[in-house]
Amino acid sequence: MQVSKTLDYAVRSLTYMGNDPVLKRSMKEISEHQHIPLSYLAKIMRRLVKKGIVRSMVGPDGGYALRRSPKEIKLRDVYEAIEGEIRMVDCMDRDNICVFYDSCTQLPVWDKVQMSMIKILEDTTLQDMLSKSRGKSARPN
Amino acid sequence: MQVSKTLDYAVRSLTYMGNDPVLKRSMKEISEHQHIPLSYLAKIMRRLVKKGIVRSMVGPDGGYALRRSPKEIKLRDVYEAIEGEIRMVDCMDRDNICVFYDSCTQLPVWDKVQMSMIKILEDTTLQDMLSKSRGKSARPN
């Protein structure tokens, strides 16, 4: 049960963009700065654009920027754009997926873990993560 | 970030054994009752035996049983026997694994999720999961 590399890359790209939300960033710039392979980043950006977190502008002055202010981007939105719905176990929201569903005694525990995680990700915005990086260099030397 | 099938199988096997901790269960019995492939179950049992959660008795009257009482088996023990240490991100307990470690602003959030999950799994024993199944049939018809 770990944070995927894809989610890590997505959060880092957004934090990078959020540090100066007015600027448009090229895919190449984000890729180089954040050490993310370009083709991997392209897939991530497509998901973030699709979910209305990032906007893509074409043309000579094109690039990527946040579609909403960092205050309005919850970590939960980012998680769900990348991983889909937060769900600890597959049977949690579906009936009849498992013959043990009715007698399952671990489900309430995973539900508790899930609820706790959702609350933390719901309560954390991109702005919170930017604030924490104030005073620290976001650029590796 | 989901509960693995291996962990699900381990918890179900332990709950099955815990429902009548005096009885020894054969691998075949657990496998058939819990719909777990025998070779998969063998791997799980080896880990649970190694971590002192289950004991294995050889001979004609041999089988598997809990080594400790259900009250003394925390869900955290089971998680760690199967998945290793609870760690949301690889860099959490190691230095210099990532060039962004010092400026990383998502680490505190994953740390919070991790702490919350550890607390829930630490506070839940096998006994708690057995109590919740009282009155429900653990056997599929």
- CATH of segment(s) B5-133: 1.10.10.10
The nearest alpha carbon in chain B to A19 belongs to B105
Burial A29-45 (b: 16+ CB within 10 A, else e): ebbeebebeeeebeebb
What are the backbone angles phi and psi of residue A62, rounded to the nearest 5°? Answer: -75, -175
Residue of B135 and A29 predicted with greater confidence: A29
Instruction: Give per-residue pLDDT as tens, A24-39.
Output: 999 999 999 999 999 9
Q: Is the pLDDT of residue A19 over 50?
A: yes
State what percent of residues in chain B have pLDDT above 70. Answer: 88
Q: List helix spans (H) across B54-125.
A: 75-83, 107-122
Residue of A134 and B5 predicted with greater confidence: B5
- The distance between the two most distant Cα atoms of chain A, rounded to a whole number of Å, is 60
- Neighboring chain B residues of A4 at a CB cutoff of 8 Å: 1
Instruction: Give per-residue pLDDT as tens, B10-22.
Output: 999 999 999 998 8
Q: Do A105 and B130 touch (CB under 8 A)?
A: yes
Q: How far is CA B131 from CA A5, A126, B79, in A?
A: 38, 41, 20
The nearest alpha carbon in chain A to B136 belongs to A103
Residue of B126 and B87 predicted with greater confidence: B126
Q: How far is CA A20 from CA A13, A17, B72, in A?
A: 12, 6, 52
Candidates B109, B126, B129, partner chain A, best to mutate (most A CBs within 10 A): B109
What does the block give as tokens for A130? 């930017």
Q: Select the residue of B75, B109, B133 nearest A103 (Cβ to Cβ).
A: B133
Confidence grade of residue B96 (pLDDT, cut at 50, 70, 90)? low
Which one, of B14, B127, B19, B33, lies nearest residue A100 by Cα?
Answer: B33
The residue ranges of every structural domain in chain A are 5-85+125-133
Q: Give the pLDDT confidence score for residue B99 in this predicted structure.
A: 76
Q: Does B75 touch chain A (CB under 8 A)?
A: yes
Instruction: Give per-residue pLDDT as tens, A76-107.
Output: 999 999 999 998 887 766 655 677 777 888 99
Q: Is the pLDDT of residue A23 over 60?
A: yes
* DSSP H or E segment with residue A63: strand A63-66
Residue A12, SS3 per DSSP: helix
Instruction: Give per-residue pLDDT as tens, B35-60.
Output: 999 999 999 999 999 999 999 998 88
Q: Do A90 and B4 touch (CB under 8 A)?
A: no
Please say whether the structural domain A5-85+125-133 has been given the CATH code 1.10.10.10: yes
